Amino acid sequence: MRMKKTTTILALAVLAAASTTAAHAEKVLMLPLEEAVQLGLAQKKLDGSVKFYLSGAPTPEGGTAIGEETANRRTASGGKSKEEACHWVALSTLIALEEFAKKRGANAVVDLHSSFKGKVYKDPVNYECHAGNMLTGVTFKGTYVRFGQ
């Protein structure tokens, strides 16, 4: 009887560990930032007063750097494709950066790049998104700049 109980407990522990591992399985996607920006503009969640320039993308000449910021957002992955969840959380992160930029008098975020657990991903077109079965996350780091005036 005791052996059967121990075997049952062990089997449940193995199943729990396997389901936890599956729940945390993560896919890394590289997606165009412009899709998230256009989604935000179409839904009027971004007002367009702040422009976003990924690292390596052409930027206007001049400008005054105002400071750096890291913004990190997560969203529940359920009910969305991995791409939809990524764009949704990227948009949420861009909204935060837009608000921070306006408070500082900036009209752009330059050298915008993804950063995940200290690993930097720089690309002039795409951002990095970590899409799990439970949570999807994006972390952006960039420099606030005031161009013109």
Residue 33 lies inside a defined structural domain of this protein: yes
| Model pLDDT, residue 17 | 43
Residue 12 lies inside a defined structural domain of this protein: no
Q: Which residue has the higher pLDDT, 38 or 5?
A: 38
Residue 56 lies inside a defined structural domain of this protein: yes
Tell whether the model's pLDDT for residue 98 goes beyond 60: yes
Residue 76 lies inside a defined structural domain of this protein: yes
Amino acid (one-letter) located at 30: M
Residue-averaged pLDDT of the chain:
87
Q: Where are the alpha helices (DSSP H) in 1-149?
A: 2-23, 33-42, 82-104
| Model pLDDT, residue 19 | 39
Tell me whether strands 108-116 and 51-54 are parallel, antiparallel or unpaired. Answer: parallel
Residue 112 lies inside a defined structural domain of this protein: yes
Residue 74 is part of a domain; what is its CATH number?
A: 3.30.110.70
Containing structural domain, residue 102: 26-146
Amino acid (one-letter) located at 130: H
pLDDT band at 129 (very low <50, low <70, confident <90, very high): very high
- When divided into structural domains, the chain yields a total of 1
Q: Which residue has the higher pLDDT, 82 or 17?
A: 82
Can you give the length of the chain in residues? 149
pLDDT tens, position by position, 36-63: 999 999 999 999 999 999 999 999 999 9
What's the N-to-C CA distance of the chain in angstroms? 82
Find residue 138's DSSP bridge partners.
73
| Model pLDDT, residue 18 | 41
| Model pLDDT, residue 20 | 39
| Model pLDDT, residue 14 | 43
Tell whether the model's pLDDT for residue 3 goes beyond 70: no
Residue 21 lies inside a defined structural domain of this protein: no
Closest to 97 measured CA to CA, from 45, 22, 29, 38: 45
Residue 16 lies inside a defined structural domain of this protein: no
Angle of helix 82-104 relative to helix 33-42, nearest 10 degrees?
70
- pTM of structure: 0.81
pLDDT band at 13 (very low <50, low <70, confident <90, very high): very low
Burial class from Cβ neighbours inside 10 Å (0-12, 13-18, 19+) for residue 148 reads: exposed
Residue 91 lies inside a defined structural domain of this protein: yes
